[in-house]
Structure 1
């Protein structure tokens, strides 16, 4: 009798552990469902098939806890011979751990984002974010599968887990048959700026001296090139704010009352963090249709140092190309004084004096206008009520080439654009003096003008 009682207690404990697993909120109920089979949870994706010959499914997940060497695996369940005649494609999402049910944060197919949601909140237990994709290419006679998994999160901590059991755990989602009504004759609607803006692919921590960004970590970054003869030279960093406009510093494109660069000679490259061989690596390329500097821009200072460039053609938002959210709410500088923001751009690095191929990022605190003005006499001519100062004064910060890069602040799950890199105190050789604060054009105070220009 005693032995039976011990076995019963053990079985009950295991069953309780399985039942105690938290089923995260599902931001993708139309195409994704949590499933359970023999005590093991997995995910199922049923997505409309668009008829293309290249099937690229990408999935992002988030898990509470720090884990090392874990992988997310995707399997295409639709038989190869049925793909071309199937209205939907069915995938299985195999979770990395048996005792942790991850939260789905994004699902995209062939570059189109079908749904997304916030990652797990940061806690003392840490958060692990993973990404995986599987590509299925079809030719006339054969079906070849290529898959890849990217785990950019590395940790020194691995959580052990107990293998769950109990085949009687009830289903937590509707029957699979309910997915049969997913519409497949039309493409999903294009994402709006409000739906897409400010969602970064940021999964690494900041490094003070200027860490390299993850590939396409900030998908609103747009590299501006200047055509000179038959070649292109990197000019400035800009930021996508609508599907037809980027914003940058006025001094990048304007000189006093005249264009610094003819609009016909401006080229904008998006969707690629690494600018090496950008012309042959699938970057999204646009030219300039209109260049509009702020009418009150004061040459040589940060006052209204803002320009909006209208693209010759709209862009479609996807994982690697998204707009940054424009600042909303209170514009009083005192509300953000002391807060830290992030600046990312293709400026010069400490190691080399050339523009870096991969954008770097640095976090820096906003300081009060009084602190900025008292720190150096030259700030009197560089600042105004339309600027703010930020910096660590320790050799870190934006430099040449970073002009136009955004000063972004995270609110909730989204990043918001508060300022643009404008100017700084110069050394005797005109190099960047990063032991002083950096001056940013405060675009939050130009909201009405930006709305008019981008209509």
Structure 2
């Protein structure tokens, strides 16, 4: 079972897209997101609902308060560039387009309709009059046959020494001499870390928050392989890497974790083990170890133990390929709402210590219930400095929960049969070498800081 602790485990920051900027609510999160670019400009990115399509026709409609807003939304353009967009289409990936927002004042235009190849993806209500409506269209096609690439082109993934896994220390992985194996993928058909050998799934299964098979055991805490396909492990090191924290997949290029797991770390020293299950198996069939290109933490986080800004993102060098073992967790949306008295049931999974303060080989999960902030403050008076409006508390009546090694784990909430990330593991009362799980665990409330996540993640 997983247990919890009062040491750094995760923080969150609520950064809006701008000081007075309002981000409209919409119900098209699967296909559309607002983002802030490095130069401060704002864009909206659309992603095709299916892969393997070489002819893409988009029609999108935005609505803004007031009149005279014709220049607010730019034209639809291939994303992130024409060459990159067409290369993705030729490689069998989902095509993307974007619009740039200009002179938006204090509120971005609201997406009210999106169509792809004459298929309605989503629609939202228009604003009351007076308002302005802007329609943008884009057609993209290529006659080049679509191919499914064997491995991402951005970078090669490390290749492990095939004859040493059994001798490697627990929680450590050993890289081949030279650190990165840059030889062509075709020469490594036996390498389980190349995406070529990972079982593929059909594009209509590439949806967030879909749980895999669970064990038929009432009250058990086992996690079967692929049950939570967004569950991944963070390793740190060069020639030898050591397990550090839990991360969760939220897009093909981004994973989310706790800031304290990655703050001040060099990207070239961090590795994400996608599809990880058995920590003693190196290499692990069906899993993929990928390098990190960027470490992102909120500007307000400076190693502080307060779980108010302890959320972080890792951007991967290579876009992952979704499989039955690797899929994204859903992001909280602004229109989902938070129960006034909490009460949501959630789940947490990871490779943390067990009751005997021993490391676990396989991931375990526990069910928890979220409680109101006032209740958390009342029962944990000594932790009042750590319980803020940007944190959430949750506990288990049987004193089960996450502990050392579970830092960065997602607090997952089930909505409409899909798992959404509500928080990340932050703090817990400590009890000797383990954690006092008779009290509540404090999480960074990602739902309160979803704008920061969306504007900093890479899709």
The TM-score normalised by the length of structure 2 is 0.54
Contact 1:196 1:317 in 2 (8 A): no
| Alignment correspondent of 1:264 | 268
Task: Please report how far the alpha carbon of residue 206 of structure 1 lies from its aligned counterpart in structure 2 after TM superposition.
Answer: 7.3
SS at match of 1:372: helix
Give 1:262 deviation, angstroms. Answer: 2.2
Q: Is the aligned partner of 1:340 residue 2:345? A: yes
Indicate yes or no: 2:266 matched with 1:219: no
Q: Distance in 2 between matches of 1:306 and 1:110?
A: 30
Cα 1:291/1:377, change in 2 over 3 Å: same
Q: Distance in 1 between matches of 2:313 and 2:362?
A: 24
Cα shift at 1:231: 2.3
> 1:305·1:422 contact (CA, 8 Å) conserved in 2?
yes
Pairwise CA distance, 1:349 = 1.4
Residue 231 (structure 1) aligned with residue 240 (structure 2): yes
Paired with 1:294 and 1:220, the residues of 2 have a C-alpha distance of 23
Q: Is 1:326 aligned with 2:331?
A: yes
**Closer, same or farther: CA 405–381 of 1 in aligned 2, 3 Å:** same
Q: How does 1:129-168 map to 2 (within 5 A)?
A: none
| Residue aligned with 2:434, SS | coil
Aligned partners of 1:418 and 1:442 also within 8 Å:
yes
Q: Indicate conservation of the 8 Å contact 2:215/2:222, yes or no.
A: no
8 A Cα contact 1:344 1:405, kept in partner: yes
Q: Which residue does the alignment assign to 1:374?
A: 378
After superposition, give the CA deviation of every residue in 1:229-268 in whole Å (9 maximum; x if it has no partner): 64222100000000000000011112xxxx0x32221111
Aligned CA RMSD, in angstroms, stands at: 3.0
Change (3 A) 1:320 1:433: same
What is the rounded CA distance, in whole Å, between the counterparts of 2:200 and 2:320 in structure 1? 12
1:200 Cα deviation after fit: 1.4
Q: CA deviation at 1:356?
A: 1.0
* Maintained 8 Å contact 2:212/2:228: yes
1:334 CA displacement: 3.2
Other structure's SS at 1:196 match? coil
Structure 1, gaps ≥5 residues long: 1-49, 53-108, 117-190
Residues 51 and 334 of structure 1: is their aligned pair in 2 closer, same or farther, counting only changes over 3 Å?
closer
* Runs of 4+, deviation exceeding 6 Å: none
Q: How many residues align?
A: 269
Question: Counterparts in 2 of 1:185-196, with a 5 A limit?
Answer: 195-196=206-207
1:431 aligns with 2:440: no
Aligned residue in 1 for 2:46:
none
Please give the alpha-carbon distance, in whole angstroms, between the structure 1 residues aligned to 2:341 and 2:358: 33
Measure, in 2, the Cα distance between the counterparts of 1:218 and 1:236.
16
> Is 1:359 aligned with 2:363?
yes
Distance across 1 between alignment mates of 2:200 and 2:358: 35
How far does residue 277 in structure 1 lie from its aligned partner after superposition? 1.6
Shift of 1:431: 2.8
Residue aligned with 1:378, SS: helix
Q: Which residue of 2 aligns with 1:243?
A: 252
What residue is the counterpart of 2:446 in the other structure? 443
The separation in 2 between residues aligned to 1:413 and 1:235, in whole angstroms, is 30
CA distance in structure 2 between the aligned counterparts of 1:317 and 1:283, rounded to whole angstroms: 11
Deviation at 1:404, TM superposition (A): 0.6
* 8 Å contact kept, 2:245–2:261: yes
Normalized per residue, which structure has more helix?
1
1:290 maps to what in 2? 294
Deviations 1:12-53 (A, max 9, x none): xxxxxxxxxxxxxxxxxxxxxxxxxxxxxxxxxxxxxx999x
Match of 1:276 in 2: 280
Quote the residue 2:388 is aligned against.
Answer: 384
Give the structure 2 partner of residue 312 of structure 1. 317
Instruction: Tell which has more relative contact order, 1 or 2 (C-alpha 8 A, sep 6+).
Output: 2
Unaligned runs of 5+ in 2: 1-146, 150-196
Question: Structure 1 length normalisation: TM-score?
Answer: 0.54
Task: Write the distance in 1 (CA, Å) between the matches of 2:148 and 2:419.
Answer: 35
Query: Structure 2 vs 1, CA of residues 390 and 280 (structure 1 numbering), >3 Å: closer, same or farther?
Result: closer
Correspondence 1:112 to 2:200: yes
Task: Determine which structure has the larger strand proportion and give its number.
Answer: 1
**Compared with structure 1, are the counterparts of its residues 363 and 295 closer, same or farther at alpha carbon in structure 2 (3 Å cutoff)?**
same
Contact preservation (8 Å) 2:427, 2:442: yes
Report the CA distance shift for 1:375/1:205 in structure 2 as closer, same or farther (over 3 A). farther
The alpha-carbon distance between structure 1 residues 448 and 110, as it changes in their structure 2 partners (threshold 3 A), is: closer
Asked if structure 2 preserves the Cα contact closer than 8 Å seen for 1:264 and 1:288, the reply is yes
C-alpha change, 1:325 and 1:110, in structure 2 (3 Å) is: same
